[in-house]
Amino acid sequence: MGAIVEARAATHCPYCALQCGQWVDRSGRVDAREFPANRGGLCQKGWTSGSLLAHPERLTTPLLRASRDAELTPVGWDTALAHVAQRLAAVRAEHGPDAVAVFGAGGLTNEKAYLLGKFARVALGTSQIDYNGRFCMSSAAAAGNRAFGIDRGLPFPVTDLDDADVVVLAGANVAETMPPLMGHLGGARLVVIDPRRTPTAERAIASGGLHLQPVPGTDLVLALGMLHAAVVDGHLDADYLAERTTGFDDAWRVAAQWWPERAERVCGVPATDMRTVVTWLAEASRRYVLTARGAEQHAHGVDTVSSWINLALALGLPGRPGSGFGTITGQGNGQGGREHGQKSDQLPGYRPITDPAAREHVAGVWGVDPDALPGPGRSATELLAALGRPDGPKALLVFGSNVLVSAPNATAVAERLAALDLLVVADVLPGETAMAADVVLPVAQWAEEEGTMTNLEGRVLRRRRALDPPSGVRTDLEVIAGLAAELGVGGFPAEPEKVFEELRAASAGGLADYAGISYDRLDAGEALHWPCPAEEHPGTPRLFTERFAHADGRARLVPVDHTPAAELPDVEYPLRATTGRVLVHYQSGAQTRRVTELAGVVPEAFVEVHPDTAARAGLADGDLARVVSRRGTAQARVRCVASLRPDTVFLPFHFGGDQAANNLTNPALDPISRMPEFKVAAVRLERP
């Protein structure tokens, strides 16, 4: 480790994709830093993030259990890495390269995501690598690629939203998930689409806008009804459609069957509200449609996002100055994490792994034969479901993900992890998945490492080291490089800038082209949004101003129709459970549940229930309830919420064990993105 020179480092929050600017000093004290995304603000998660640096539960030594029944015991790094390498080699020798799997994360830096993908394909020779971005962004990514030919969450800087007149937030609760973003929406009339009356929905009402409460799993119908209203009420932007798009006629053929009153019967949103929102969007001069997990986490999430894109295109929003369509990325590096090769079907630069030219380019950078690169592997949920099965992986390496809490059908995931010959987890704190591992590798946190992140607007940011990690802790890059060395494979640098230089070359010419971005440019303060193909290129803060990324330059409307949720309520399971996040916790909660100030606010799982629904189950506010689905049970404290739909319950997914909302969720997958249906599961409520 090199010496820390500056008294404090200009870095970014470890949590969400807004990547708020932070100062972190040598003692780990966090302060807000002026940065366009947050303008000097931080949410409670960001303010308290420093408390995890010297947390008493911090993992500071590798841990190893001799057998599945044995306790985890401390060992040295040499022992741990040699043990892992030897076991991986043995599994590989007995079952072949695909018997070893790798699971990454959307919180990993670009450098880690890149090196992990290379490690899987070159050092392990496995096709079995995927990451938790399948749980949060893959449907938005697929819909963006389909419509625009490129997937960048916001194709404009977040500050463009400052001047918006109308913003539709479809399935986004940003007042809780990324509060400083609300500062960019302050002047707009907001429309929030969410089954719950969230704080964001309250802001929408206060702004003179609307809160639309569709039945969970019917968002697509709502968008179809609004497209119908746009056409019939004369709001189509015919010139824009003719000049900049294709596919309207096919999309309209479906939407024509969903007049607002028919859509209302399915989604429950009043037809008059659909017409009102479309009129607002059509008549405002600066207007945006933004989607997030509420639209995406469905077994037909890609089509649902496409339905919102169709509406935005019909009204002429994408690529128009002061207007647009975007998706709000969740995880800190959710954008960069899906660009550099830890996704099962991708190589760096957002290159398809099945494209011969892409394989040749990346193999050239890696110094290997293109034919030696494996093909596409299983997606995250399918990968987890295959663990320990006769044709599935026998060993799994996990970096930065807590799948025992964050994956759907968590009870089944626990069984699959238990069936492995070897589970290795690199993590900062003893999260649920780390504690189930055979080998735990303690790694550095955000303020202890260098690297880059790519935020929700496609801007590449420098993560800077403010202090050294605790003694005994290594960076993820050092762990990957160390494992490669133990496996006798060269070409795995542990220095972040060296890895980034390689990433630049590997991404050159790809959709997500970082070739012109360097640490020097970023350290000089340049605001660089990809694509940035050359050192003299200024980057691309706004996409689509002239053309979309398809070969003909046009965006595609896609004919999409309603398909019911994969699991519908019935007599036995009469309610729809939907999951999401709360203000004080982040993702699986492995970090925020250990921050006293945050855990004190929401210390345990809860279930929001309409008072009438609770009463029917014999439950009252504050009671402990059992929420039961076909897959499992979650224990949660009842919160009676009169504004909630009586047919719907809501659980945050930040808790593990018997409080895990994902014990209930349905692993039904979108056929294109392979994203699970976190937002709809049929459940019943019981007294414990």
Judged by CB under 6 A, does residue 555 bind ligand SF4? no
In the complex, what is the shortest distance from the CB of residue 339 to ligand SF4, in angstroms, rounded to a whole number? 19
Strands 575-580 and 681-686, sheet pairing: antiparallel
Q: Answer whether 100's CB lies under 8 Å from 85's CB.
A: no
Orientation of helix 219-232 relative to helix 260-267, angle to 10°: 170
Which one of 10-18, 189-197, 367-375, 546-554 is the stretch in contact with ligand SF4 (CB under 6 A)? 10-18
Per the listing, tokens 């830093």 go with 33
Under the binding rule (CB under 6 A), the answer on residue 460 touching ligand SF4 is: no
- Contact in structure between 630 and 567 (CB atoms under 8 Å): yes
Give the position of tokens 């694509």.
531
Applying CB under 6 A, which part among 14-22, 87-95, 150-158, 471-479 lies near ligand SF4?
A: 14-22
Which of 51-59, 172-180, 243-251, 318-326 is the region at the interface with ligand SF4 (rule: CB under 6 A)?
172-180
Is-contact 491 502, C-beta < 8 A?
no
Planar angle of CA 192, 677, 224, nearest 5 degrees: 50
Q: How is residue 591 annotated by DSSP?
A: T
The residue (of 16 and 223) whose beta carbon lies closer to ligand SF4 is 16
Our finding on whether 18 is near ligand SF4 (CB under 6 A) is yes
By beta-carbon distance, which residue lies closest to ligand SF4? Answer: 46
A 10 A CB-CB count for 469 gives 22
Closest approach, Cβ 570 to ligand SF4, in A, equals 38
Our finding on whether 317 is near ligand SF4 (CB under 6 A) is no
Q: Please give the Cα distance from 124 to 367 (Å, whole number).
A: 15
> Toward ligand SF4, which CB reaches closer, 15 or 252?
15
Q: Shortest distance, CB of residue 47 to ligand SF4, whole angstroms?
A: 7
Nearer of residues 31 and 165 to ligand SF4, judged by Cβ: 31
Beta sheet of 395-399, edge-to-edge order: 73-74, 63-64, 439-442, 422-427, 395-399, 100-104, 129-131
How many Cβ atoms sit within 10 Å of the Cβ of residue 79?
13
588 or 629: CB nearest ligand SF4: 588
- Chosen residue from 9, 10, 20, 185 binding ligand SF4 by CB under 6 A: 20
Window 178-207: contact mask with ligand SF4 (x via CB under 6 A)? xxx---------------------------
Tell the smallest beta-carbon distance from residue 513 to ligand SF4 (Å).
25
Tokens of 656: 């593990």
Question: Candidates 151-159, 175-183, 374-382, 501-509 — which segment interacts with ligand SF4 by CB under 6 A?
Answer: 175-183
Complex with ligand SF4: residue 16 or 614, whichever CB lies closer: 16
C-beta of 400: minimal distance to ligand SF4 in Å? 16
Q: In terms of residues, how long is the chain?
A: 688
At closest approach, how far in Å is the CB of 463 from ligand SF4? 12
User: For residues 296 and 672, is the Cβ–Cβ distance under 8 A?
Assistant: no
Query: In this complex, which beta carbon is closest to ligand SF4, that of residue 171 or of residue 533?
Result: 171
Minimum distance, C-beta of residue 602 to ligand SF4, in the bound complex (Å) = 15
Stretch of 15-23, 230-238, 409-417, 473-481 lying at the interface with ligand SF4 (CB under 6 A): 15-23
Among 10, 13, 143, 201, binds ligand SF4 (CB under 6 A): 13
Residue with Cβ nearer ligand SF4 (15 or 131): 15
- Shortest Å distance, C-beta 13 to ligand SF4: 3
Minimum distance of ligand SF4 from residue 203's CB (angstroms): 15
* Residue 42 vs 305, nearer CB to ligand SF4: 42
Q: Which segment (13-21, 111-119, 408-416, 643-651) binds ligand SF4 by CB under 6 A?
A: 13-21
Tell me, what amino acid is at 405? V
SS3 breakdown of the chain: % helix, strand, coil, rounded to 5? Answer: 35, 20, 45
Total binding residues toward ligand SF4, as defined by CB under 6 A = 14
Select 49 or 648, whichever has its Cβ closest to ligand SF4. Answer: 49
DSSP string, 101-143: EEEE-TTS-HHHHHHHHHIIIIII--S-EEEGGGGTTHHHHHH
DSSP per residue, 177-242: HSGGGGGGSTTSEEEEE-SS--HHHHHHHHTT-EEE-PPTT-HHHHHHHHHHHHHHTT---HHHHH
CA distances from 463 to 5, 427, 523, 587 (A): 15, 18, 10, 20
* Residue 39 vs 542, nearer CB to ligand SF4: 39
Burial of 471 (0-12, 13-18, 19+ CB in 10 A): exposed
> Residue 15 interacts with ligand SF4 (CB under 6 A)?
yes
DSSP label at residue 621 = T
Instruction: Decide if residue 229 touches ligand SF4 (CB under 6 A).
Output: no
Identity of the residue, 18 or 417, whose beta carbon is nearer to ligand SF4 in the bound complex: 18
Query: For ligand SF4, which is the closer residue by CB, 287 or 463?
Result: 463
> Considering the rule CB under 6 A, would residue 19 count as an interface residue with ligand SF4?
yes
Which 31-60 positions form the footprint of ligand SF4 (CB under 6 A)?
A: 38, 42-43, 45-46
| Beta strand segments in 406-519, E | 422-427, 439-442, 451-454, 459-463
List of residues contacting ligand SF4 (CB under 6 A):
13, 15-16, 18-20, 38, 42-43, 45-46, 178-180
